[in-house]
Amino acid sequence: MIDLDNVNMWLAVAAKYAGISIDRKLKPEGLGASLYYFILKIHDHDGISQLELGEYIYLDQSGIARGIQQLVELGYVDKIRNQKDKRTSNLYLTQAGKDIYSQIYDKVNQQNELLIKNVPVEQREQFEQNLQIVGQTIFNELQPGKSGK
């Protein structure tokens, strides 16, 4: 039988120390544990809106706005008002953002390899799927309108 206290504890341990590790790797670029992910997603979805970005990275709009503002101040992202819908802005990497993308990508891949190095190769795909299920489950449960039992 699974010890549910251990599930929460090990998820918390993994998240905490994975965050510390990637923060250390990206500190020279002025990026924290979540800002790097913004750059990866904006690179992959050039011109993405802030709303769409939130859907990709499971972060509320106030967190997205703060993160984008930091990236604009760091010179990694341009925020351009959408000419068709003035209520929204589209996000693009600046040249500095494009230049740093490959460094971030490489460091994140190194981090991912570190995180799964002791997971048997034949179990890695299932492990990733299970993590996604767990993450989406808790995210969906905490959305407005949910009881949060």
Contact between 67 and 59 under an 8 Å Cβ cutoff? The reply is yes
Low-confidence ranges of the chain (pLDDT < 70): 1, 33, 146-149
Q: Is residue 79 within a helix (H) or strand (E), and if so which, with residue range?
A: strand 77-81
First CA to last CA distance, the chain: 22
The Cα–Cα gap between 116 and 90 comes to 34
Domain residue limits, the chain: 21-110+122-141
Does the pTM surpass 0.85? The reply is no
Of the candidates 48, 145, 134, the residue with the CA atom closest to the CA atom of residue 97: 48
CA dihedral 122, 126, 127, 130 (to 10 degrees): -170
Fold of 21-110+122-141: Arc Repressor Mutant, subunit A (1.10.10)
Q: Cα-flanking dihedrals φ and ψ of residue 87, to 5°?
A: -80, -15
pLDDT for position 122: 97
User: Could you give the angle at the alpha carbon of 24 between the alpha carbons of 131 and 59, nearest 5°?
Assistant: 45
